[in-house]
Every structure is written in structure tokens, then in C-alpha cells.
Amino acid sequence: MSILPTISAAPVLEQSPSVSSARRRPAATSAVRLAASFVLLASSAFLLLSSDSDTLSSGSASGSGRYLGGRDPLLTNLADLSGTKSAAETIERAKNPPSAGDAAGAGDEGAKAEGGEESEEHAAETVTPLYWHIYKAGGTSVKSVLTFCLDLTVASNFGVMKGHDLDTEIGVMQAGGHSYVNVDTISWPGIDRAAELGLAESSLADVVVSPPIHNAVNKIFSPSHRAMLFTVFRHPIDRLVSQYYYLQEASWESTYNPDIAKETLGEYAKKYNNRLTRQFVGKDVPMKPLTESDLELAKEVVRTRMIVGLMTDVEGAVHRFVKYFGWERPDGDADRYDACMIEQFNPKEKEHGVAMDGNRHKHPKLEKGTAEWEEVAKENDYDLSLYRYIVEVYEEQGRTMFTEDKKSLGETAATVS
């Protein structure tokens, strides 16, 4: 049974702009609402890929979000998951944190590292699962599981269909037999609107999905309304190679750019270097120089504030998420859930010299040890260091939090370099 707040009492919105209220906000003028509608709908279609697109707009990742004591929102607005085996434990600790003295006496490494700032004064009122959708890292499959296999109420960008981007009150809308909060957590303007409507405070979403993670954590969440972060990571070079070929051919995407083919893979890697680390710390839009402190922040978040999955075992990662967040299906629904999972995770097809992603996109495989591999690796030194650490944390979580996992840790380690 899910540990998350029930949504049965939540306002269910009809598929029309006119809805009954769950949370009152000042109504916008018709002109402002029309302008907001245009911005949200235009941006929702492409901003999933925006941090990797040639059409980036300038802006601050930190925006006007809520910081605590000048510390990064990844530390203040994300719940500390270290030492827990379930979201229920994390929620209990976030809502009833130990005092600084108690934490130090108990050897609470996380609390000591934060100088005892996580005290009763900053107890969380709500804690919501947050899935970081990393582009070209199995995110579409995971999002499908959350929506179609688990039937969770999802906040992504589906909830602004049918004119719901004009809603001035937060609520839940139905589409295709599934439930969505009427916000857009994919685009930057949508994230601003979700924060204004009080998405985190409402507890309407079973899970929030967002690609610009630093911006989402900063704007939507706060020390009083935190997120529990989880994601699936992919080897940085494999992810970049996939993106390089995909955007040359994906004419159905608004980020489609056939001119990428005029660049060598090495040139492309230099332009979009260390994307994972940049997205973690909010230095992707606009691109700013990275430092060792940025890498250490990203590692601390991986270690203490997220459930880690790997694309080399994405189905296993999903099972970890389901277990941790208490999303197990009841016995009567198990067959449908199993069938849905099989549909999402068919074995990946492979052909000689060709790699195929989960979205069935074929592209040439970059072989490790080649000059081209080394060129790309040189441009992604922070990401490669971070990914090695991510795999270590994945293995450690398997030993301490998911002890029933049968996957060989040696197998996982072999995929790191």
C-alpha cells in the first residue's frame, strides 16, 4: 500500500478551462492569462531537451527560490535519505528531525555535515517524490511506468492539456484514464507557475517529474516542503553519443537540428561538456565554469539525498523505486502491473556495430579506447568522475537498502569506465 497521501479528496478537474477550486490564487487578467498560455504551451514541447539544445535562452538556474542560510537548495530542499530503507522512514525523519545535539550524539553524519541546521525549527510539512528525467537515460520508460503501470498521480506537463495551463487553482485532471496535476514541471515558465500555485504544499502529486532539476528543487520545493529525489543515470559518454545522433535525425522533436551532423562528435562534446554535473548544480543555463566544489556538491547529493538507478539495469532500478516509495501493487493488480512492466522493458535490440536505445533509436557505437572516445572523455572529466561515484553509491544502496537485489555488484562495476 502506498505511503503517499491519498488523492481521493483532491479536486478532480474536468477537461475544460473552467474548474472548481482547490487553492485560491488571484485571477490574472485575460491578456496576461492568454500570454501565459502561449508561453507555457510553446515551451512545454521542447524544454525537456532545452539544457542540451542549441536554442538555449539565458537565465539563472537559482532564480528567486528559497534558500536556507545561503546553502544550496539541493541540500535544504531535498530530504536526507541516507540510512533509511523506505520513504516512510525519510518522511518521519524529515517531519520530526533530531536536534543538533541528538544527531551529533547518534553519529548522524548528514546532520553533522550540515552543522545541525536540520532541527525542529525546519521540520518539513510535506515530502514528495521527485523524479529527475535525464535526457537520453531511460527517462521516458520510467515516466511511463509511473503513469501507466503504477497509476500514480503525476505532475509533469500532461496536466496543462485542454486549456488547464489557464487554471488559476491547483487540482487534478483526468486524461486517458490517468491522473495529472494541472501544472507543467518540464519547462522553466511552467516550474514558476507550479511554484506559484503551491504544488509542493498541495500534496496532490504522488510524484513530480522534472528535467531542470536544480531549478525545480529551488523553485517548487523548500525546507518546509521537501522532495525525495530519484533518477536513472547513464554513462556520460553513451548518453552524449546517443544525443548527438538522435537530434540529427529526430525531425519530430522541436530540438531537431540536422546541422549537428556538420560537427564532429568531439566538437559537439566540447560544446555540451559535463552536462550531468552542470544540471546538478545549475550551471547549464547559461553555461558557467565548473569547479571541484560543484563536483563535491553533486556527490554529496548522490550520497545523501537520492535513490540511484543505472540504465545498465533500468528495470532493476524501477523495482528499487517501487520498493522504496511503497508503490507495490496489490495482489489483484499484480498481473496487469507485470504485463505493463514487460511492455516497457523489452530487451534492447542490438546489431553489429550499432547501439539501440530504449526509444528504438539506432546509432553507431563509440568504442572505448579509440581516439574519438578519448577526445569525448577529455571534455567530460567531471561527469566521468561523478558517474564512477554514482556507481559506487548504487552498489552501496544495494547492500544496505535493497538487500534482496540479486544483480551481481561485480557486473555493475564492470560498466563504470
Q: CA-to-CA distance for 238 and 373, rounded, in angstroms?
A: 10
Most trustworthy range by pLDDT among 54-68, 118-132, 275-289: 275-289
pLDDT of 249 = 72
Contact between 304 and 81 (Cβ < 8 Å): yes
For residue 160, being part of any structural domain is answered with no
Check residue 246 and give its pLDDT: 73
9: in domain: no
Distances (CA, A) of 249 to 253, 254, 362: 9, 11, 10
When pLDDT is averaged across residues 375-404 and rounded to a whole number, the result is 93
What does DSSP assign to residue 178?
E
Can you tell me the mean pLDDT for 89-93?
94
Range of weakest confidence among 74-83, 271-280, 400-409: 400-409
143-147: which pairs have CB atoms within 8 A and are 24 or more residues apart? Answer: 143/209, 144/344, 145/318, 145/340, 145/341, 145/344, 146/207, 146/209, 147/178
In a domain? residue 21: no
Q: How far is CA 53 from CA 135, 227, 271, 281, 284, in A?
A: 11, 27, 10, 18, 11
Report if residue 20 sits inside a domain.
no
Q: How far is CA 296 from CA 24, 200, 253, 292, 365, in A?
A: 41, 27, 34, 6, 31
What average pLDDT does range 73-80 have in this prediction?
94
Q: Which residue has the higher pLDDT, 36 or 281?
A: 281
pLDDT averaged over every residue in the chain: 76
pLDDT score at 318:
92
- How many Å apart are CA 387 and CA 310, to the nearest integer? 10
Grid cell 560498466 is found at 415
Q: What local confidence, expressed as pLDDT, does residue 354 receive?
A: 39
The predicted pLDDT at position 50 comes to 43
Q: Is residue 60 scored above 60 in pLDDT?
A: no
Q: Rounded CA gap, 24 and 284, in Å?
A: 34
**Which among 388, 337, 124 has a CA at the least distance from the CA of 233?**
388
Reduce the DSSP state of residue 297 to 3 states and report it. Answer: helix
What integer pLDDT is reported at residue 344 of this predicted model? 81
Strands lying side by side in the sheet with 154-155: 12-13, 172-175, 178-181, 154-155, 207-210, 126-132, 225-233, 306-310
DSSP-assigned states of every residue in 235-255: -HHHHHHHHHHHHHH-TTSTT
What pLDDT does residue 187 have? 93
Judged against a pLDDT cut of 70, whether residue 57 lies above it is answered with no
Instruction: Find, among 166, 169, 143, the residue nearest to 48 by Cα.
Output: 143
Residue 129 within any structural domain of the chain: yes
Burial 234-251 (b: 16+ CB within 10 A, else e): bbbbbbbbbbbbbbbebe
Q: What is the 3-state secondary structure (H, E, C) of 119-162?
A: CHHHCCCEEEEEEECCCCCCHHHHHHHHHHHCCCCEECCHHHHH
Identify the pLDDT of residue 416: 55
Q: What angle do CA 160, 220, 183 make, to 5 degrees?
A: 5
Q: Are strands 12-13 and 207-210 parallel, antiparallel or unpaired?
A: unpaired
* pLDDT the model gives residue 121: 52
pLDDT band at 23 (very low <50, low <70, confident <90, very high): very low
What percent of the chain lies above the pLDDT cut of 70? 66
Tell me which of 217 and 13 has the higher pLDDT. 217
CA distances from 383 to 138, 298, 386, 417 (A): 18, 10, 5, 12
pLDDT tens-digit series, residues 139-188: 788 998 999 999 999 999 999 998 999 999 999 999 988 999 999 999 99
Whether 147 is in a domain gets the answer yes
Q: For 185-237, what is each residue's pLDDT tens digit?
A: 999 999 999 999 999 999 999 999 999 999 999 999 999 999 999 999 999 99
Q: What residue spans of 163-286 are helical by DSSP H?
A: 188-197, 199-202, 213-220, 236-249, 265-271, 275-281
Residue scoring higher pLDDT (24 or 172): 172
Enumerate long-range contacts of 405-412, CB under 8 Å, 24 or more apart: 405/316, 405/320, 407/313, 407/316, 412/310, 412/312, 412/313
CA angle, residues 145, 389, 47, in degrees to nearest 5: 45
Query: Could you report the per-residue pLDDT of 232-285, keeping only the tens digit for each?
Result: 999 999 888 887 777 767 656 666 767 667 788 788 888 889 999 999 999 986
Q: Is the pLDDT of residue 299 over 60?
A: yes
Furthest-apart CA atoms within the chain: distance in Å: 61
pLDDT digits (tens, 9 = 90+) for 327-379: 987 666 778 888 888 888 764 444 434 343 445 567 677 778 888 889 889 99
- The more confident residue out of 86 and 23 is 86
Q: 22-31, 40-49, 80-89: which has the highest mean pLDDT?
A: 80-89
pTM attached to this predicted model: 0.76
Q: Which amino acid is at 78?
A: L
pLDDT at 40: 41
Query: How many C-beta neighbours within 10 Å does residue 157 have?
Result: 24
Task: Indicate the number of domains in the chain.
Answer: 1
Residue 62 resides in a domain: no
Asked if residue 399 belongs to a domain, the reply is yes
| Side-chain-facing half-sphere of 242: CA atoms under 13 Å | 19
Query: With 70 as the cut, is the pLDDT of residue 306 above it?
Result: yes
With beta carbons less than 8 A apart as the criterion, state whether 175 and 162 touch: yes
Q: What is the pLDDT of residue 361?
A: 60
Query: What pLDDT digit, counting tens, does each position of 62-73 carry?
Result: 333 444 445 788
Per DSSP, the three-state class of 110 is helix
Residue 113 lies in domain: 76-152+206-413
Whether the per-residue pLDDT at 109 is higher than 50: the answer is no
